[in-house]
Copies of this chain bind each other. A is one copy, B any other.
Amino acid sequence: MAKVLMKGNEALGEAAVRAGCRFFFGYPITPQSELPHYLAQRLPEVGGLFLQAESEVAAINMVYGAAGAGARVMTSSSSVGISLKMEGISYIAGAELPCVIVNVVRGGPGLGGIQPAQSDYFQAVKGGGHGDYHLLVLAPASVQEMVDLMAKAFDLADKYRNPVMVLADGILGQMMEPVEFPAEILQELPAKPWATDGARGRGPNLINSLYLEPEKLEEHNHRLFEKYRQMQEQETMAENYHTDDAEVVVAAYGSTARIAKAAVDMARKEGIKAGLFRPVTLYPFPTEEINQACAKAKQVLAVEMSMGQMIEDVKLSLNCRLPVSFYGRVGGMVPSTRAVYNEISALAQKGGEQA
């Protein structure tokens, strides 16, 4: 297929359609509204359903119902709205239902602002809802990657029977880049013999997260964590950019990684051995990959549009064996390439000293 110029939000929509997603339940919120607008038009064209729910709470529970009924289904929102979905997401994880949740992050806390941010990292990867559970979290850094990861998201959701979050931000959602879509619209979806579609010729199926006996609930938790272990083994993804010989490694994801990449370019021009490590899966965090990327590193710099969240996973993954510093902007402010370059350059001068 030829390339088309498309907004990230809309590209997510088209990618979902091509991945066989036919059901969207959501509630409007800036800066992700182009995604529902797109699907409101597009889904009926392919025999699918777009339904604006009465709230984010209703939306995530409609997703629960539809996922439990066997559909490829998604929802999307931004920060405030995602917080309202925490109970529902915990239920979906507990009931092991596959679905895709898009969070186009904006500044917080509270009503905050509508400009891009990455301050929902903890919520996405540690579990903003109650209980021990994890989403699989994918963080694209370009519109093309939004398309590619969206397809992947649905596959992973089905493979693990686990909710997958695509974590973007206002920049990615709003920006246009050329993209190529898979030519085919996926028609054949994996069989879901566990789904509730009327117990025709078989025993009843049950979608559930309640285990009143603690022994059973513990067992259930262990089963979930066995899945997470498998994901850690099989699904981590990351991009390395000039990390081979890098003495200063910048760790950044999403839009911020794009800025960091430009800063690395700038640093390389100045003869600084800088590199970029970009986790693509935020959960499971690419632990092995970051250790490889930092093989030659003396300093690590986490750059985020937050007050410092992913930095904890960076430190833990490296077992704190390298000094990890932080540079962040928040509330909708975006780091400039130069500011990141300045941080790199300062660290390069430090060598292996504790930051």
The winner among A209, A221, A316, A330 for most chain B CB atoms within 10 A is A221
Tell me which residues across on chain B come within 8 A of A123, comparing CB atoms: 86, 126-130
Cα separation A225 to B218 with both chains bound (whole Å): 37
Q: Are A217 and B112 also in contact (CB < 8 A) when A126-B126, A128-B129, A129-B123 are?
A: yes
What's the number of copies of this chain in the assembled complex?
2
The A106-131 residues at the B interface (CB cut-off 8 A) are 107-115, 117, 119-120, 122-123, 126-131
Cα separation A123 to B132 with both chains bound (whole Å): 10
Q: Are A331 and B218 in contact (CB under 8 A)?
A: yes
Determine if A210 is an interface residue (Cβ-Cβ < 8 Å).
yes
Tell me which residues across on chain B come within 8 A of A117, comparing CB atoms: 131
The stretch from A33-41, A75-83, A145-153, A194-202 touching chain B is: A75-83
Determine if A277 is an interface residue (Cβ-Cβ < 8 Å).
no
CB distance from A215 to the nearest CB of B (A): 7
Q: Are A133 and B113 also in contact (CB < 8 A) when A86-B83, A331-B211 are?
A: no
Tell me which residues across on chain B come within 8 A of A91, comparing CB atoms: 109-111
Q: Are A307 and B214 in contact (CB under 8 A)?
A: no
Cα separation A127 to B84 with both chains bound (whole Å): 13
Tell me which residues across on chain B come within 8 A of A210, comparing CB atoms: 110-113
Determine if A9 is an interface residue (Cβ-Cβ < 8 Å).
no
Q: Are A109 and B133 also in contact (CB < 8 A) when A123-B127, A214-B331, A217-B332 are?
A: yes
Q: Are A90 and B80 in contact (CB under 8 A)?
A: yes
Tell me which residues across on chain B come within 8 A of A127, comparing CB atoms: 109, 122-123, 128
CB closest residue in chain B, given A307? B132
Q: Are B83 and A110 in contact (CB under 8 A)?
A: no
Cα separation A108 to B87 with both chains bound (whole Å): 10
Determine if A94 is an interface residue (Cβ-Cβ < 8 Å).
yes
Q: Are B113 and A129 in contact (CB under 8 A)?
A: no
Determine if A320 is an interface residue (Cβ-Cβ < 8 Å).
yes
Cβ contact of A108, chosen from B90, B105, B110, B119, cutoff 8 A: B90
Cα separation A329 to B92 with both chains bound (whole Å): 22
| Additional pairs, 17, CB under 8 Å, beyond known A90-B109, A123-B129, A217-B330 | A57-B57, A83-B90, A94-B108, A107-B131, A107-B214, A107-B217, A108-B129, A108-B131, A109-B130, A109-B131, A214-B332, A217-B331, A217-B333, A218-B330, A218-B331, A319-B320, A320-B320
Can you list 9 A-B contacts (CB < 8 A)? A83-B129, A91-B110, A92-B110, A109-B209, A111-B209, A123-B127, A132-B330, A218-B333, A319-B320
